[in-house]
Amino acid sequence: MQDFLTIGQITNTHGLRGELKVLPLTDDPKRYNSLKKVFVSSNGSSPKISEFEIEGVKYFKNFVILKFIGLDKFDDAVFLKRSSIMIDRNDAVTPPKDSYFIFDLIGIKVYDEGKTFLGDITDVIQTGSNDCYNVKKEDGTEFFIPAIKTVVIDVDIATKEMIVSLPKGLID
């Protein structure tokens, strides 16, 4: 089975030549320049994934304007509105050292240094200075862990485990 990463959302058509206006869902929208193809997941009761070759990329305000080979008129492209733009995980850029894709962190089991289970990461909040991991405990309560090196000791994406050293009073 193919593993996809969503990197954008088609919000509308752009002009009359089959171009699409895409809201980028990636830290680096210029990444679209290096893509040769993408996958588009159509909306509806039975979503379908189709592969498209990219003919052109432009930027307009906070949007990426994509032109796919074979979509040359407004009517060719309008059916893709509100669809997701995805890439194969193998085509994803490698995150910098000690950085992770958010989707890889969701569901990770969090343990303290004594290997006591604390909960599962359910969300990553991007605050600007550092991310915060929303952790849900077994009893349903939640707490936040700052994603800083003094707190996050180890992250193992393969085993879906994180070891943390929590400051006193963070949970209590």
Residue among 2, 89, 88 at smallest CA distance from 38: 88
Write out residues in the chain with pLDDT < 70, as ranges: 1-2, 43-46, 172
For 124-164, write each residue's pLDDT tens digit.
998 878 899 999 999 999 999 999 999 999 999 999 999 99
Those residues with Cβ within 8 angstroms of residue 71's Cβ, 6 or more apart along the chain or in another chain: 18, 20, 52, 77, 80
pLDDT at 128: 78
The CATH classification of domain 4-91, taken from the options 3.30.930.10, 2.40.30.60, 1.20.120.50, 1.10.1200.10: 2.40.30.60
Phi and psi torsions of 111, nearest 5°: -125, 150
pLDDT at 44: 60
pLDDT at 3: 81
For 143-154, write each residue's pLDDT tens digit.
999 999 999 999
Give this prediction's pTM.
0.71
Those residues with Cβ within 8 angstroms of residue 5's Cβ, 6 or more apart along the chain or in another chain: 86, 87, 88, 89, 92, 101, 103
Domain limits, the chain = 4-91, 102-164
Q: How far apart are CA 64 and CA 95, in angstroms?
A: 22
pLDDT at 109: 97
Q: Could you confirm whether domain 102-164 is CATH 2.60.120.330?
A: no
